[in-house]
Amino acid sequence: MENQSLVVNDTPFISRIDRSIADNLDAIKKSYGADADIVKDIIIFISRNLKRDLFGFTTFTMADFSKVSGRRRQELASKHSYMNLPGAEAVEHNGYQFISVFDYVLYQMQLRNIIFSKSYKYTDQGKTLDMVGIQVIKQVKITTDKSNDNKKIYQIRLSEDFLDGFINRYYTLEVNGYPKVGKGRGGDGRKSLYLFLYKAMHMNLSQNITKSWFTVDYLCKICDVNFAESKERKRVITKYLDLLIEKGGLRITYEFVKKQGNEFASIRGYWIKVNFAPLDTKQLQESKGEHHFYYKLMSGLKEFFKSVHGNGNYNFGEEETDPFQRWLTNSVADRDSKIDIFMKCYRLAYQKNISQDVAQEMMFQYWPS
Whether residue 72 sits in one domain with residue 170: yes
Give the residue, 9 or 272, on which the prediction is more confident. 272
> pLDDT digits over 137-194, tens only?
999 999 888 888 878 999 999 999 999 999 999 999 999 999 999 999 999 999 999 9
Q: Which of 275, 300, 332 is the last residue of a domain?
A: 275
pLDDT of residue 312: 62
Radius of gyration in angstroms for the set of CA atoms belonging to the chain, rounded to a whole number: 22
User: Is 145 within the bounds of a domain?
Assistant: yes
User: Is 360 within the bounds of a domain?
Assistant: yes
Give the residue, 77 or 263, on which the prediction is more confident. 77
pLDDT of residue 6: 57
List Cα–Cα distances, 87 to 82, 83, 84, 90, 112, in angstroms.
10, 9, 8, 10, 22
> pLDDT digits over 59-89, tens only?
999 999 999 999 999 999 999 999 989 888 8
SS3 content of the chain, % helix, strand, coil (to 5): 45, 20, 35
Whether residue 167 sits in one domain with residue 79: yes
| Residue 240, domain extent | 187-275
pLDDT of residue 322: 78
User: Is 6 within the bounds of a domain?
Assistant: no
Q: Is the pLDDT of residue 263 over 90?
A: no
Whether residue 310 sits in one domain with residue 246: no
**Structural domains of the chain, count:** 3
Whether residue 238 sits in one domain with residue 313: no
User: Is 181 within the bounds of a domain?
Assistant: no
pTM (2 decimals)?
0.90
With cut-offs at 50, 70 and 90, classify the pLDDT of residue 269.
low
With cut-offs at 50, 70 and 90, classify the pLDDT of residue 203.
very high
The C-alpha atoms of residue 264 and residue 261 are separated, in whole angstroms, by 8
